[in-house]
Amino acid sequence: MARVLLVGYIAEHLHDRQRMLQAAGYEVTIAASLAAATAIIEQETFDVAVVGFGVPENERNHMAQAIKQISPSTRIIMIYFSSVKNTELADALMQTSAGAEELVRAVNHILSARNRERLA
């Protein structure tokens, strides 16, 4: 079972997407701050980290950097409102208006691509 870390500041969005991803068969953990995400990722391994859900643009890349430093193999999906600045570490991008179903599709796609890379 693939593991997903959801990082953000808006609890309602985190919990909605957590439910949808769990229904799709993923093991999902929530972190409501950079400190929480860092502590969690130091203890556990994740296939995908989803960064967004109200994280300001200037913090979004900082979170992605912290996750990549601890776990370089973790794929990053960044969720953005209007600015796509500071997203160079993202393996995929999603606009905030995208629903939980689109997040499930993005996680499926990114994990499929990673599996194809491993087989190549």
Contact status, residue 29 vs residue 74, Cβ threshold 8 Å = no
* Ordered structural domains, the chain, with CATH: 3-119 (3.40.50.2300)
When the pLDDT of each residue in the chain is averaged and rounded to a whole number, the result is 84
49 burial level (CB within 10 Å; 0-12, 13-18, 19+): buried
Of the ranges 10-19, 27-36, 46-55, 98-107, the best mean pLDDT one:
27-36
pTM: 0.74
Nearest alpha carbon to residue 92 among 76, 115, 74 = 76
With contact defined as beta carbons under 8 Å apart, do 70 and 42 qualify? Answer: yes
Q: What is the pLDDT of residues 6-35, one digit of tens each?
A: 998 888 888 988 998 999 999 999 999 889
Give helix 57-70 / helix 34-43 axis angle, nearest 10°. 10
pLDDT for residue 17: 87
Lookup result for tokens 């409102």: 81
pLDDT above 80: residue 99: no
Banded pLDDT at 39 (limits 50, 70, 90): very high
For range 68-72, the mean pLDDT: 92
